[in-house]
Amino acid sequence: MTAIVILGAGPAGAAVALGLRRLGYPVTLISEWRRFAALEGVSQRVLDALRGAGLQHALAGALLPSRRQVNWNGQQHAQNIEFLLDRPTFDRGLRDALREAGVERVEGRVLSVQSSVNGHRIALDGGVTVFADFLVEARGRQAPSLGKGLRGPETVSLLNRWQGAPGTTASAVEGLEDGWAWMARRADGQCYWQWTVDVASAQLPGKAQLLDYCRHRRHVSDFARAFFADGAETDSHLHARSSTAILSPQVCGENWIRVGDAAMAVDPLSGNGIFQSLSSALQAPVVINTLLHKPERAALAQRFHQQRVEQLFLRFARIGRDFYADEQRWSEQPFWQARQSWPDARVAHAAADFSALRIERMPVLRDGFVDEVEVVITTDQPLGIWHVQGIEVAPLVRRLHTEPANQVLAGLSEEQGRVIKGWLLSQGYRPST
């Protein structure tokens, strides 16, 4: 039996472990506990993805609904509800889900990993050694670098946490001259303020003065003072972490794969980190299954994972770029100037153009393996669309270039026809063309 070891028990590692267990694989997961308390704002989309990964029980007791306030480009408004995810509670739920699924867990710190074509030797603290035939790297930004990949402007986020007075649960985001801040408060008075700044231009003080400096920066913001109601602060803590957008140069080999932040880590403004972690992790079990049982498709499986991770990274990067470009008050300041044109000038969402649709053979997930089929390449989906509501679209698009729509769609049911017509219209198709 193939020994599969996963390093890291965050959402990405847990999702891969549960996916592999559903495919019948025994899995060993190695991790150490998160060393700091954190609160994260997540959307309904993230919650749906977590539930889809089988992590619904981990969410129980970890969520607080919050009305999010925004102060951006000189305008203040209240956005939709976001959910505040208490990471210590959520992480305990992840471990419970893994135990219930029969995943063997090893608590420990990884000291080194020695890899070869024959497997992986993993040394842990305490003199423990674990061997793996297949390795899943899911330790996030702590994963060792594989070389020079694509990197955004160097960025650091300073998470401040303290105890304030009890009040109403709320969250907010604010643009600042030299960065931006996300803030949240819980009903029990726990307060969070995370300031994201440019490493090169921030001119931060030394570690001993950093907490007081952050407190001063927070207090000079009228928006932040009003949000936290200028309450008393006790038991203050600060945690600094890199938030530079990073794409690993390689994310898959014949006996290893990278998922989550170990494969790509996005700027926190560009999209929720948990969502992008899950996006790469949910496809990984099928990629692994293909590598182990269909070695003749190894190159195809690696190509699938690499392409999906790269395209997801660039999509998030462009979304982040556009958010930064919306803040015009300090567009000439180093922080904003470096981020309003990275990674490129391509639009995040291209306009639909039916005449530009192409049909190509691309890797997809089918029946538990990576396979190759004809897909439709669109301006907004460079990796292609295989089917819509279970209907393969490449044969239809090919015929629509030479045949009338009523003839091409004649074999579909009324419901299928309605769905396909809606998709075609969204791609810029007009029957008169």
Q: What is the DSSP string of 70-137?
A: EEETTEEEEEEEEEEEEHHHHHHHHHHHHHHTT-EEEE--EEEEEEETTEEEEEETTS-EEEESEEEE
Q: Look at residue 430 in the predicted model and tell me its pLDDT.
A: 83
How far are the Cα atoms of 142, 176, 237, 302, 316 from residue 229, in angstroms, in the given order?
Answer: 36, 19, 19, 52, 34
CA-CA distance, 320 to 265, in Å (whole number)? 13
Query: Token pair of 2, please?
Result: 């193939």
Angle at 412 between CA 364 and CA 431, to 5 degrees: 90
Q: What is the pLDDT of residue 271?
A: 59
pLDDT of amino acid 433: 46
The tokens for 271 are 């999209």
Strands 63-72 and 170-176: parallel
The residue written with tokens 């997809």 in the block is: 364
Give the length of the chain: 433
Q: Classify residue 187 by its DSSP letter.
A: T
Q: Which regions of the chain carry the CATH code 3.50.50.60?
A: 4-66+82-151+245-339
Residue 106 neighbours by CB under 8 Å, 6+ apart: 28, 29, 30, 31, 124, 128, 130
Answer for the pair 317, 346: CB distance below 8 angstroms, yes or no.
no
Cα–Cα distance for residue pair 95/73, rounded to 1 Å: 41
204's tokens: 């931060």
Q: How far is CA 272 from the centre of its chain?
A: 6
Domain with CATH 3.30.9.100 in the chain: 155-242
DSSP letter for 175, please. E
Q: Is 264 helix (H, G, I), strand (E, B) or coil?
A: strand
Q: For residues 66 and 83, is the Cβ–Cβ distance under 8 A?
A: yes
Given a cut of 50, the residues of the chain with pLDDT beneath it are: 433
**pTM score > 0.95 for this model?**
no
Q: Which two tokens stand for residue 74?
A: 């000189």
85: CB partners within 8 A, 6+ apart: 39, 40, 41, 42, 59, 62, 63, 274
Cis peptide before 395 (omega within 30 of 0): no
Q: How far apart are the first and last CA of the chain?
A: 57
Sign of the four-CA dihedral 349, 350, 352, 358: negative
Token output for 343: 């990674």
Summarize pLDDT for 68-87 with one digit per residue, the tens: 899 999 999 886 788 888 88
DSSP strand pairing (110-116 vs 246-247):
unpaired
The Cα 173–Cα 320 span in angstroms is 14
Tokens 């570690």, residue located:
207
Q: Report the b/e string of 107-124 with b at 16+ CB within 10 A.
A: ebebeebeeeeebbebbb
Amino acid at 405: A
CATH number of 4-66+82-151+245-339, picked from 3.40.50.1980, 3.30.70.1530, 3.50.50.60, 3.30.300.20: 3.50.50.60
Q: And the tokens for 258? A: 């990278």
Predicted pLDDT at 67:
83
Is CATH 3.40.718.10 correct for 155-242?
Answer: no
Please, which residues have CB within 8 angstroms of residue 101's CB and are 6 or more apart in sequence? 17, 18, 21, 54
